[in-house]
Amino acid sequence: MSVSLQPPVALRAPVLGRIASAFAALWLALCLSGCGAINRVPSLEEQAKSSWSEVQNQYQRRADLIPNLVETVKGYAKQEQETLTKVTEARAKATSIQVDASTVSDPAKFKQFQDAQNQLSGALGRLLASVEAYPDLKSNQNFLALQSQLEGTENRIAVARRDYIQAVQAYNTEIRTIPGRWIASWFYPEAKPMETFTSTPGSERAPNVKF
């Protein structure tokens, strides 16, 4: 009497399915590895993270300039105390909210960061506008130097934000479209879309801080 060694059909189907999926993944990996498609997702992610670091660097540079600017203005325009206080408070709030490369995919955290930076930009703009009433301050060498540095920083912020937006667009498109979407789900399941800046009035150009 012969004994069949074949497993039941109910058990064979899932096993065969897993084997087929494994071979399909291996086949895709072999096909795509030559053109670097598998490495494209992490490469674009690293580019976006690097761009974000530059955005943070430029915002920090602006924050570092503000205390000296406030002190300089205070020496010539003590009556602008309310405006100076608002700038100082906005700076404190902006620097207290940190979004590093590992949390840049958190929508709520990113919005807090952007809102705080926008509030600081608004307060700083109002302070600089008030300087028009003080000719002596406008000709002060320390103020002129700070003005020049701030103008350059605002320009660099605009460039850094633009580069970050472009890098995130490339990364998000890759993990949301085929074949990048398949590659991300199989090889990089932790990959998540990154947040980007939303438009604010005048965000397409750096603030004008010339006098």
pLDDT in tens, 57-83: 999 999 999 999 999 999 999 889 999
pLDDT in tens, 177-203: 988 898 899 889 999 999 999 865 554
What residues have CB less than 8 Å from 93, skipping those under 6 apart?
A: 116, 119, 120
Distance of alpha carbon 63 from alpha carbon 67, whole angstroms: 8
pLDDT in tens, 92-149: 999 999 898 888 999 999 999 999 999 999 999 999 999 989 999 989 999 999 999 9
Q: Extract the tokens encoding 76.
A: 């010539």
pLDDT in tens, 8-25: 555 455 666 677 666 666
Query: Average pLDDT of 14-39?
Result: 64
Distance of alpha carbon 180 from alpha carbon 211, whole angstroms: 50
DSSP letter for each residue of 76-106:
H-GGGHHHHHHHHHHHHHHHH----TTSTT-
pTM attached to this predicted model: 0.78
Name the CATH topology of 48-188: de novo design (two linked rop proteins) (1.20.1440)
